[in-house]
Structures are given as C-alpha cells and as structure tokens.
Amino acid sequence: MSGITDFDALRRAMAENSEQPEGPARNARAEELLAEAEKLGIPLAVVEALGHQLKVYNYSSEKDKMFVPFARLLRMWDERPEDFDEYEVHSLHWVFKWMSSGMLDQPHVPLASIEKWLGEMEHRYRLAGHSERAVRSAEFSVAAHVGDVTRAQRAYTAWLAADRDDMADCHACELHGQGWWQAEQGRDAEALLLWRPVLEGEFTCAHEPHTVLASSLVPLLRLGRTDEARANHLRGFRLVRSMESMRGAYADHVEFCALTGNEARGLELLAERPAYFTDTGHPRSRLEFLSVVTLLMERLDEVGLGDREVPGPAGRTWTARELAAHARAEALALAARFDERNGTAYVSERARARMAQRPLVDRLPLGVRAAVRPVVAPAAPVAPVAVDAAEPDLPALLAEARRLSDTLQPNAVEAWAAVSRAAEGAELDARDRAEIVDHEAMDRGPEGAELFERAAELYAEAGDPGESLAARTRAAYVRALTGRVDEALAAVAEPYDQILALYADDATEVRQTASVLMGRARILMRRVQEANEAAEDGGQVNGVTDEAGGAADAPSGETVLADAEAAVRELLALVGGYAGGDVRIASREAEGRAMLAELALQRGDFEEAVELFGRASAGFVTVGLPWFAVEYEARLAGLAHHLGDMAETERALRAALEHGGAHLEAVGRAQLHLQLAEVLGGRGLAVEASEHALEAAHWADEAGEGRTLGAWARHQLGGFLLRQGRWAEAAEVLESALPDLSAETHGDGAVVQTQWWLGDCLSELGEHREAAERRLQAAETARHWPEQHDHATLAHLAAESLGAAGLPAEADRAYARAGELWRSLGNVHGLVRSLRARAWLALRADDGADEARELMAAAVRECESVLGDGVDDEEARERLVAELGHTHRQFGDLLARSAAEDADDDSIRAALEGALAEVGEAVAVFASLGDDALHSRTGAELAAGWLEADLSRPARAAARARAVLAAYDGADEADETAQERRSEAEQMLQVVEEQGAE
C-alpha cells in the first residue's frame, strides 16, 4: 500500500474505498487508512478515518466491529470537541442510532446496557438540540425486538409525533420501519400503503427500496396480490444480490421462494451466498437466514426430496434433510441466546413460527429459468381410519367407466384400467371383457391393433356385431397410424360393407355405424396426409412411391382427395343434424366438419377452412366436449393469422385456452399462451401480453421444454416487460433467457434482440458497464449480417454506455466504429451524432479542446455537404436541416464550455464569441424551418441571449429575450415548453436590466 502523505490524499483514498463492494476487503482497507491517518498528526483526519471505518463496518457482515471505533470517537469528542468540524459532529450523533441497533443485534450485549445506551443517546441528543424522533424510533426497535407490544406501540406513536430533524432517519428508512410494524401486527394492507412511496421510487437511499421490496413479499402473498409479489421479488433480489450487508433481506427472498412453489430457485439463491451460512458478525440476520433455510429444507423434505443434495455451509456435502436439522438447531440456539438476554421467549417463538409457515401459493411462475418443480409425494395416512376404506366394487367401477366413455370424458381410459385391475380373477361376461380389452387397446395407441381384434371377437361373442365391426375398424385405423395405409384400407373394406348392410336391416345402431364410417374416413384422411408428405419429400406428388422409388399403381392426388371427401360426407349424411343424447354420435359431426376443413386447406380454400373449423369447434362445445375443440381452435388461429385477421386469431387462441382448461398438456398450453402473447404484443397490449408470455414460460418449464420453448417465451416476456418500463424485472428475465438461447435453435436474431433489450434495461438501471458489454456482444453478432443498420445502432449504443461508465477512450473507439458504419450506410444523421458525441468526450480529456472543436466542425461539414448535394425528398431535407441546427447549437455549447477557468480574459472572450456565432447560426437554421422548429429556435435564441449577457451586451440579450416572448404571444397555457421558454426569457430580461443598472 502506498503511503498517504497529506489529508487530501487520505480523503481521496477513503472516497475510493467507499465505492468498493461491501465486504472484508473494503473493511480491511478502512483499517489501513485509519493507520495512515494517525501518521498525519491531524486530529480531524483521525476523526474522519474512524467515521469511514464505522460506515464500512455498518454496511458489511462485520457489524460487530463498529463498537470499538465508535467508543474512540465518543471519547475524542468528550475530550476535544474542537477537533470535530460541523460535518463530523453531525456524523457522530447520527451513528448513535447505528450503535443502538447494533447492540440489539448482538445477543452478548446485555439488555441493561442497551437501555442505558438509549438514555445516553436521549441525553446527548437533547444537549445538541435534536428532536427526540430518532430516540423514540430506537426505543421502538428495542421494545419490538423483545416482544413488549405495549411499550413498542407507545414508542411508535411518540416516534411519529416527534418533529423530523436532521437526525431522523431518511423518509425511506422510516417508512420501512413503520410498515414493518403494521405487517407484524397483521395489518398488511396498511403496511403496503406506508411502503408505497418507497416502492414507487419517491423516497430512496443506500438500502431502500431494497429492504421494503423484500419486506413486502409475504404481506403481498397473504393479500393475494401475487403479481406485485412476483415483480417485487425480481426487482428486489437484483438490488440485494451483491450487497453483503443485506442478509436479512436476502432471507426474505428465499422465504418467498419457499412459500410460492419455487423451491428450485430458493436453492439457487442459497448457492449464490455460501458465506451467509457462517458469517457471525451479525447474529440477528444470521438467525433470520437460518430460519428460512429451515423452512425451505423442510419443505423439500415434505415433498419427498429430503435426500437431495443442497447448498450448505462449506466443508461437507448436505442433503435437504440434514441441512434442515442443522439450520433449525443453529437458528434456535441463536434465538435462545437472544431470549436469555431479553428475558422473554419472543425471539424463539417468532423463529419457530417462521419455520412452520405453509406455502401461500401452490406455484407462482416467476418468468425466470427454473428447474421443474419437484413432484409432491403422497402423504402417508396419519392413523388408520375407522370407516370402511375399501375401493368401490367391480359393478360400480364398471358403471363409472361406462359413464365416462359414453360421454367421452378425458379420463375414461384410466377408469377402464381401474376396472381391469379390479376384475383380475373375477368372472365376467363377454361384453364386459370386450369393453376392457377395447379400452386397453385405446391406451396402447399404435400398438393396440391386436387387442382391438380381440375385442372384436368378444363383442361378436356377446352378440353385438355392430360393435365388433367398429372394433375391427379401430384396428385398421391403428395400422394406418403406423404407416400401413393400404393395408388399413383393405382391412376396413369388409367392416364397411357389413355395417351398411346391418344398418339397412336395422340390425345395428347409428353409433356403431358412425364409428365404422368415421374410422374409414380417418384412414382415407391418413392417405391424404401421406400423399402430401411424399410430395414434400420429393416423391410422387399425386400418390405414393413404390419401394424402388418409382411411381406405384396409386390413385391420383385428385382421387385421394375426392375419396376422402366422399367418405366424410357419407358420415355427415348419417349423423348430420343428430338431436339425440348420445354425445359420441354428435361429436362425429363436429369431427367430420374438421375433416372437410382439412380437405379445403388441401385445395387452397382458406376461407372455407376457417368456416368449417369454426363449425367443428362450435359443435364440440355445444355437446359439452370443449376440450376436443382446442385442436381446431388452434388450427383456426393459425389460418386466421395467415389471412391477416388478427381479431379472429386472438379470439380462437383465447377460446382454445378456455376450452382446454385443465385438460391441456403443458406443452400445448405453453404454445397457446405464447401465440396469444405475440398477437397481443403486436396490438400494443404489452401488459396482457406479458401475462401470457409468463404463463408460456411456466408451462414450457413444466413440460421439460425450458431450454427451447421456455427460452423463447422468456425472450418475449422480457421484451414486453421492457415496453412497460419494468427495467429490473425485464433484466432478470432476459438474463435468465440468454444461457438457453442459441442461434441454432432460436436464430441469432433472437439472441441479438435479447442482448439488445438487456442492454437497454441495464442502461436504465444505471449499470452502464454491463450495458456496454451486452451491446457489444450483440454488435459482434450483427457484424456478420448482410444488412448493417443493426450493427451500427448497437455500436452507437455501446459507445453511449461506455461513456456513461466513465470509459472515454473505449467510448471514443466505439463511436468511431459506429461512425464508419453510418457513413457506409449513407446515414448522415447517425454519422453526425457519433461525431458530436466524440467531440464531447474529447472535451473532457486533458488538452482535448482542439480535437473537440475539430470533431464538431466535421459534424457541421457532413450536414452541409449532403445538403449542398441536394436532397430530393422534402421531409428528409427538413430533418437534415434540423440536424444541422442542433449541431450548430451543440458546437456553441461546446465552445462556451471549452474556455478554461484559469484562462486569460481574452481567451475566454474569444471562446464566448465563437460560441455565440455558432448558436446564432443555429437560430438562423431553425428559423428557416418555420413553426415546426419553433421550440428549437427559441431555445437557441435564449442560449444566444445568455452569451450576449456574459459578453456584457445587455441590450442585445434583452432583444433576444423579447423575441422569444413575441414568439409565444398567445401560446397555449398547456404547452409546457412554451411556458418554460417565456419564464426563462422574463428571467433574462430581469438579469440584464440589473446588469444595465450596474
């Protein structure tokens, strides 16, 4: 460490250390700086170094180190108060509050000592003339900690009643404490009302809204305001993630995960902060952390994951069950130490209550990447039940299975499986056995053909030839599903002929006949599909190909379509207009309409397909089978989108989600939500679009598609959140999406867009270095694209971020790169703006004034050159003239600021004259654009007026001010810019009148 040779160097070193991340390294540097301060022989230097040490200890995990430097400061104050300047006197009294809370957080400090300290604080504040507000706040903290509710409420009331002075905590911190008390007393809504100004950014400080966001999570969940809770988690965790001193707030976020079905994310949070398990400098926050670790681990054990390896204290591996026991023991031991000190059981009671919480939400999707939720293990019965717990008898199971299959319920196959299990060893008639085998075949899918044949034999044995033929048809259709379409058509020919004969003789019913006709139609539709697939693969367009690759003796494409349509229409002729109560028959008509829609698509008749899919969907809904409508509503949405009918697209997607309900598979639900999000986003409805993108991400994760479909959903969600200005939430979501997005799966455009959006978010959040990194990464990919506009834009944005991050050399290089790209694209606006930005960067550098002036002059020349060549489009010409005006205006500002404060009068005057000339040019350029550039012209006019005043030309300045007032004579009162210009002009007149009087 280089030695500190003077007080200014010490102050610079302390300022630099204050900017370092919280933690032991910063604390150690503060200790070194105190040693250096003692060598200077300046009492105030020691005072300031002790104050710096106190501050870094307070904002770290080593809060227990605060007491020694404070005791020394207090002794110095008592012995030689003249060694303290005004700021250090204020600071000394300010940190009394830190000492009070610091003692409370250390169980080894006796309660009597804390009470004595409160009295000392009150005495010293009174002597210094301070309000008792901070004292009563400290008293409230003590009473609330030990569980003395009566005293706490009394102190709380006195705290709020006392006058605010410069010793009171900032508004944000006070509101946090007040809201915390309301929440502790079960008044969650009141707490959130108190916290609103902090949550909305009206009041902030070093630790706010960090702690308010964390404290609000459980109250919001208890009130059912889950969307706000999710948003506050994403915003708040981003703030506390890197702050070592925020273990208590960090614990609130882990607790939130445990209470919302986000156990996997909770584990990720624990893995990020292993030191939180063992840091002992702040026992109170360690107790809070270990309590929620216990909550999370016991939750994992409860859902059957007690043996899962989890993050824990370093030095060994931990299972969830082991860590739960360890954390509970450690937390309760700490709580017992506090209770022993306090003489109550309050701290232990609160710790146990926190550990015992039950989930408040089964699963709250967060939008960020997450592991699939653990499957909850079935709970073992607590004790044998006294009532008869036997399963229903076989006749009851049969009756229920028949009811479900007759009404086409989604769980009918499972009901028949239960019948099959119950029927083992039982005597059943042929009809019962036929139905069991029939439904087992349905459950087998493509492997069920032989079972369908067996079912057909059993139906025949039971005396139901129609159902036997229907089962044989189902066997044929299964063969078609496995690619054996010709074989299937041959197999269905005989059942088809026989069922028609039976139906004509009234020897079978409509249901069985419709079943055979539907099976045959489905097989013919499979032949249509195969013909299309062959065409797409380069095979015979109008048929199939034989094994040698040549055209087989196959029907033409027209014949394939005609055969399928004839079969469907034959079915519809049988069941069309059916008004009975058999939903199976009614559903055949709906499915037939859908088949005709598919055939209309083959003919290229999209409008007819839309109409038919709509009728099919409506048919299923009408007969009480909405879940069958989902597929057709989804098809309808795709068609409507293709036809540009976005209203119908949106309606169909909403209907599909509504009709599918709980029966939708996770991946299907994810796809529908994502499609609807994109449609709504296209309409500018970012709020609702983000809700559906969130659902899409959640269901994609549930389906195991988190790295593919889920990543795309998170990409979209981040964009919708960004549109709403929800920068922190969007950043969390986009950062979560990036690791899974790939050019191969999602396209490099999606990767670049995500990095671009993330850079925008980070820029808004003030994380400029990180924003620059993301923008440069995106620019590097875009560099390889044929069209270079995105590359240029990203390079320009990266330069802005680098400049804001305090990296002028890197920013200049990025602006230069962007400028070259803008020039190659013929974009003079981008080129001029990059030159202007480089000029301002150069001005900030030592001896950079000349380069700055040259760069700004180059920007003027670029505008003038293009205008001199002539611009045919009038709108483009006016935009370029305005760009020239803004460049002259900025040139004037730059020249005015380029005059060094220590320069001689002639140099300063020359700089101001040059500035006035440029601003005058800006006035003239803007004037040429007429009323469209009125505000720009008057702004330049006022700038020129102030320069005239600086050059001691009050009359000219006054004339410019009056010109502005005249320009806005009769201006609309609602025009804020006009009113601001008038106010500034009047102020200028007043100043120059005083200047003239002097």
Tens digit of each residue's pLDDT (9 = 90 or more) over 304-318? 999 999 999 999 999
CA distance 230 to 235: 9
CA distance 450 to 472: 10
68-99: b or e for each residue (b if 16 or more CB lie within 10 Å)?
ebbebbbebbeeeeeebeeebeebbbebbbbb
Cα distances from 115 to residues 112, 122, 335, 344, 799, in angstroms, run 5, 11, 20, 16, 56
The residue type found at 355 is M
Q: What residue ranges of the chain have pLDDT lower than 70?
A: 1-2, 370-392, 537-554, 900-903, 996-998
Torsion of CA 239, 241, 246, 251, to 10 degrees: 110
CA distance 85 to 96: 17
Instruction: Answer yes or no: are the C-beta atoms of 342 and 145 closer than 8 Å.
Output: yes
Encoded tokens for 86: 């005004």
594-631: b or e for each residue (b if 16 or more CB lie within 10 Å)?
bbbbbbbbbeeeeeebbbbbbbbbbbbbebebbbbbbb
Instruction: Answer yes or no: are the C-beta atoms of 179 and 192 closer than 8 Å.
Output: yes
DSSP per-residue string spanning 132-189: SHHHHHHHHHHHHHHT-HHHHHHHHHHHHHSPP-TTSPPHHHHHHHHHHHHHHTT-HH
pLDDT confidence of residue 334: 97
Q: Is 551 helix (H, G, I), strand (E, B) or coil?
A: strand
Instruction: Answer yes or no: are the C-beta atoms of 124 and 92 closer than 8 Å.
Output: no
541 membership: H or E segment, kind and range: none
- Taking the alpha carbons at both ends of the chain, their separation in whole angstroms is 56
Encoded tokens for 462: 């039971």
Which DSSP letter does residue 63 get? G
pTM above 0.75, yes or no: yes
pLDDT confidence of residue 179: 97
The residue type found at 345 is A
Instruction: Answer yes or no: are the C-beta atoms of 344 and 146 closer than 8 Å.
Output: yes
Instruction: Answer yes or no: are the C-beta atoms of 300 and 310 closer than 8 Å.
Output: yes
**C-beta neighbour count of 514 within 10 angstroms:** 26
Instruction: Answer yes or no: are the C-beta atoms of 288 and 322 closer than 8 Å.
Output: no
Characterise 870 by phi-psi region: left (phi > 0), alpha (psi -120 to 50), beta (else). left
199 burial type by CB count under 10 A (0-12 exposed, 13-18 middle, 19+ buried)? buried
CA distance 124 to 102: 18
CA distance 964 to 984: 9
Torsion of CA 928, 931, 935, 941, to 10 degrees: 40
For residue 267, give the nearest of 239, 243, 303 by alpha carbon. 303
Radius of gyration of the chain (CA): 39
For residue 551, the cross-strand partners are 545
| Contacts within 8 Å (CB) and 24+ apart, 186-191 | 188/219, 188/220, 188/222, 188/223, 189/223, 191/215, 191/216, 191/219
Cα distances from 829 to residues 3, 302, 705, 867, in angstroms, run 51, 63, 44, 12
CA distance 495 to 505: 15
319 membership: H or E segment, kind and range: strand 318-319
**C-beta neighbour count of 890 within 10 angstroms:** 22
Sign of CA dihedral 396, 399, 402, 403: negative
